[in-house]
Amino acid sequence: MTVEAQLTSVMKTLADPTRRAVFERIAREGEVAATGLVQGSRVSQPAISQHLKALRDAGLVSERRDGRHNYYSVAPKGLVPLVDWLSHYRAFWHERIAGLEALLKETE
C-alpha cells in the first residue's frame, strides 16, 4: 500500500467519532479486551467489533488472542503517515505565521 493510501485509510478510519473514541480509549488504557470496550459504552458488541476491524485494517491497533478473549492495543506505526503529513503542514503554517508576524511588525 502506498503512503498516500495509508494516509487516506488512517484519516477515513479516525474520521468516525465513535471509532476515534474507541481508539482513544485503547490508547489511554494500554491494552483492552474487546468485551471491556463494550462495557461502559452505548455501543453494541457487534458495532464495537466492526470498529475494531476497521482500526485493525488501517494498522492503528494490534490484536492479541488469549483463549476466548481478544485484547487490543495501539499500533504506533499506524499513525506514522498521519504524523508525517501533519509535520509537513506544521512547517508550512509555521513559516506562514512567521511571515505574518514580520509583516505586522513592519506595518507598526
- The pLDDT, as a whole number, for residue 81 is 93
Tell me what pLDDT residue 41 has. Answer: 78
Inter-residue contact 52 to 6 (CB < 8 Å): no
Dihedral angle of Cα 13, 19, 22, 24, to the nearest 10 degrees: 60
* pTM of the complete model: 0.80
CATH of the domain at 89: 1.10.10.10
Domain of residue 46: give its range. Answer: 3-107
Number of domains in the chain: 1
Q: What is the pLDDT along the chain (108 residues), one digit of tens a residue?
A: 788 899 999 999 999 999 999 999 999 999 999 888 888 778 888 999 999 999 999 999 999 999 999 999 999 999 999 999 988 888 778 787 888 888 888 887
